[in-house]
Copies of this chain bind each other. A is one copy, B any other.
Amino acid sequence: MTGLPNVPLVLHHVAVVVADLDAAVAHYAALGFGTGERFAIAEQAVEVVTFRAGLGYVEVICPTDPDGPIARFLAKRGEGMHHVAYRVDDLADTLGRLAAAGVRLIDREPRSGAYGWRIAFVHPESCAGVLTELVEVPAGDAEAATL
Protein backbone atom coordinates (compact mmCIF):
# COMPACT_ATOMS: atom_id res chain seq x y z
CA MET A 1 0.00 0.00 0.00
CA THR A 2 0.98 3.61 -0.32
CA GLY A 3 0.54 6.23 2.34
CA LEU A 4 2.11 4.50 5.34
CA PRO A 5 4.57 6.98 6.81
CA ASN A 6 8.15 5.90 7.08
CA VAL A 7 8.37 5.71 10.87
CA PRO A 8 9.87 2.82 12.78
CA LEU A 9 7.13 2.49 15.42
CA VAL A 10 3.55 1.62 14.51
CA LEU A 11 0.74 1.84 17.08
CA HIS A 12 -0.16 -1.84 17.50
CA HIS A 13 -2.30 -2.41 20.59
CA VAL A 14 -3.48 -1.10 23.93
CA ALA A 15 -3.93 -3.38 26.93
CA VAL A 16 -6.47 -2.86 29.69
CA VAL A 17 -6.50 -4.61 33.08
CA VAL A 18 -9.90 -5.51 34.50
CA ALA A 19 -11.30 -7.26 37.55
CA ASP A 20 -14.34 -8.72 35.77
CA LEU A 21 -13.61 -10.02 32.27
CA ASP A 22 -17.23 -10.73 31.34
CA ALA A 23 -18.32 -7.23 32.35
CA ALA A 24 -15.45 -5.67 30.38
CA VAL A 25 -16.24 -7.75 27.30
CA ALA A 26 -19.87 -6.63 27.53
CA HIS A 27 -18.74 -3.00 27.71
CA TYR A 28 -16.45 -3.32 24.69
CA ALA A 29 -19.16 -5.14 22.77
CA ALA A 30 -21.51 -2.24 23.52
CA LEU A 31 -18.91 0.16 22.10
CA GLY A 32 -19.07 -1.71 18.81
CA PHE A 33 -16.19 -4.18 19.00
CA GLY A 34 -16.83 -7.75 17.90
CA THR A 35 -16.97 -10.69 20.24
CA GLY A 36 -13.19 -10.92 20.57
CA GLU A 37 -10.95 -13.92 21.01
CA ARG A 38 -10.60 -15.36 24.52
CA PHE A 39 -7.64 -17.39 25.81
CA ALA A 40 -5.64 -18.03 28.96
CA ILE A 41 -1.91 -17.48 29.44
CA ALA A 42 -1.13 -19.81 32.33
CA GLU A 43 2.45 -18.67 32.97
CA GLN A 44 1.27 -15.05 33.35
CA ALA A 45 -1.78 -16.07 35.43
CA VAL A 46 -4.19 -14.16 33.20
CA GLU A 47 -7.15 -14.63 30.93
CA VAL A 48 -7.22 -12.35 27.88
CA VAL A 49 -9.77 -11.22 25.33
CA THR A 50 -8.42 -9.53 22.20
CA PHE A 51 -10.53 -7.32 19.96
CA ARG A 52 -9.43 -6.25 16.50
CA ALA A 53 -9.49 -2.45 16.04
CA GLY A 54 -8.57 -1.74 12.43
CA LEU A 55 -4.93 -2.68 12.02
CA GLY A 56 -4.56 -2.61 15.81
CA TYR A 57 -5.90 -4.49 18.78
CA VAL A 58 -7.33 -4.02 22.23
CA GLU A 59 -6.24 -6.58 24.81
CA VAL A 60 -8.44 -6.93 27.89
CA ILE A 61 -6.49 -8.73 30.62
CA CYS A 62 -7.92 -10.28 33.79
CA PRO A 63 -5.85 -11.94 36.53
CA THR A 64 -6.56 -15.57 37.37
CA ASP A 65 -4.27 -15.76 40.42
CA PRO A 66 -4.45 -13.18 43.23
CA ASP A 67 -0.69 -13.46 43.72
CA GLY A 68 0.22 -12.88 40.06
CA PRO A 69 1.75 -9.64 38.73
CA ILE A 70 -1.44 -8.50 36.98
CA ALA A 71 -3.47 -9.07 40.16
CA ARG A 72 -0.96 -6.93 42.05
CA PHE A 73 -1.18 -4.23 39.37
CA LEU A 74 -4.98 -4.29 39.63
CA ALA A 75 -4.90 -4.11 43.43
CA LYS A 76 -2.57 -1.12 43.30
CA ARG A 77 -3.97 0.84 40.34
CA GLY A 78 -7.52 -0.37 39.77
CA GLU A 79 -9.05 -1.12 36.37
CA GLY A 80 -7.66 0.81 33.43
CA MET A 81 -4.74 1.03 31.04
CA HIS A 82 -1.91 -1.45 31.48
CA HIS A 83 0.36 -0.82 28.50
CA VAL A 84 0.65 0.53 24.96
CA ALA A 85 2.42 -1.49 22.26
CA TYR A 86 4.20 -0.42 19.08
CA ARG A 87 5.23 -2.69 16.23
CA VAL A 88 8.84 -2.55 15.10
CA ASP A 89 10.47 -4.38 12.20
CA ASP A 90 13.47 -5.86 13.99
CA LEU A 91 12.99 -6.11 17.75
CA ALA A 92 16.44 -7.43 18.68
CA ASP A 93 18.08 -4.63 16.72
CA THR A 94 15.69 -2.06 18.21
CA LEU A 95 16.43 -3.21 21.77
CA GLY A 96 20.14 -2.97 21.12
CA ARG A 97 19.80 0.58 19.84
CA LEU A 98 17.55 1.61 22.73
CA ALA A 99 19.90 0.14 25.33
CA ALA A 100 22.80 1.99 23.72
CA ALA A 101 20.76 5.21 23.86
CA GLY A 102 20.21 4.79 27.60
CA VAL A 103 16.54 3.78 27.40
CA ARG A 104 15.55 1.73 30.46
CA LEU A 105 14.45 -1.70 29.23
CA ILE A 106 12.53 -4.30 31.23
CA ASP A 107 13.38 -6.97 28.65
CA ARG A 108 16.79 -6.68 27.03
CA GLU A 109 16.05 -9.60 24.69
CA PRO A 110 12.85 -10.45 22.76
CA ARG A 111 10.55 -13.02 24.36
CA SER A 112 7.43 -14.83 23.16
CA GLY A 113 4.03 -13.18 23.27
CA ALA A 114 0.55 -14.13 22.05
CA TYR A 115 0.00 -15.03 18.37
CA GLY A 116 3.67 -15.80 17.81
CA TRP A 117 4.61 -12.16 18.35
CA ARG A 118 8.08 -11.41 19.71
CA ILE A 119 7.77 -8.85 22.48
CA ALA A 120 9.77 -6.76 24.95
CA PHE A 121 8.78 -4.16 27.51
CA VAL A 122 10.30 -0.73 28.03
CA HIS A 123 10.16 0.77 31.54
CA PRO A 124 7.58 3.53 32.07
CA GLU A 125 10.39 5.76 33.31
CA SER A 126 11.64 6.01 29.71
CA CYS A 127 8.14 6.48 28.22
CA ALA A 128 6.62 9.38 30.17
CA GLY A 129 4.98 7.09 32.71
CA VAL A 130 3.49 4.60 30.24
CA LEU A 131 4.45 0.92 30.36
CA THR A 132 5.40 0.35 26.72
CA GLU A 133 5.69 -2.88 24.76
CA LEU A 134 7.51 -3.37 21.48
CA VAL A 135 6.22 -6.10 19.16
CA GLU A 136 7.79 -7.81 16.18
CA VAL A 137 5.17 -9.56 14.07
CA PRO A 138 6.41 -12.68 12.22
CA ALA A 139 6.94 -12.09 8.50
CA GLY A 140 4.29 -14.64 7.52
CA ASP A 141 1.59 -13.04 9.68
CA ALA A 142 -1.54 -11.97 7.81
CA GLU A 143 -1.42 -8.59 9.50
CA ALA A 144 2.15 -7.94 8.40
CA ALA A 145 1.11 -8.69 4.83
CA THR A 146 -1.37 -5.82 4.90
CA LEU A 147 1.23 -3.19 5.75
* Interface set of A (CB-CB < 8 Å, partner B): 1-5, 7-14, 16-18, 23-24, 27-28, 30-34, 51-58, 60, 78-81, 84, 86-88, 94, 97-98, 101-103, 122, 124, 126-130, 132, 142, 145-147
* A7-B52, A32-B94 known, 4 other contacts, Cβ within 8 Å: A2-B146, A30-B98, A31-B103, A60-B128
A16 to B14, CA, bound (A): 13
Q: Which residue of B lies closest to A83 (CB)?
A: B81
A5, A27, A51 — most chain B CB neighbours (10 Å): A27
**Of B12, B28, B54, which contacts A87 at CB under 8 A?**
B54
Contact of A55 among B4, B13, B14, B84 (CB under 8 A): B4
Chain B residue with minimal CB distance to A61? B128
Copies of this protein in the complex: 2
> Are B53 and A86 within 8 A (Cβ)?
yes
Q: Which residues of B are found within 8 Å of A79, using beta-carbon distances?
A: 128-129
Contact A32 B3 (CB under 8 A): no
Question: Shortest distance in angstroms between A57's beta carbon and chain B's nearest beta carbon?
Answer: 7
Do A11 and B54 have beta carbons less than 8 Å apart? yes
Contact A130 B81 (CB under 8 A): yes
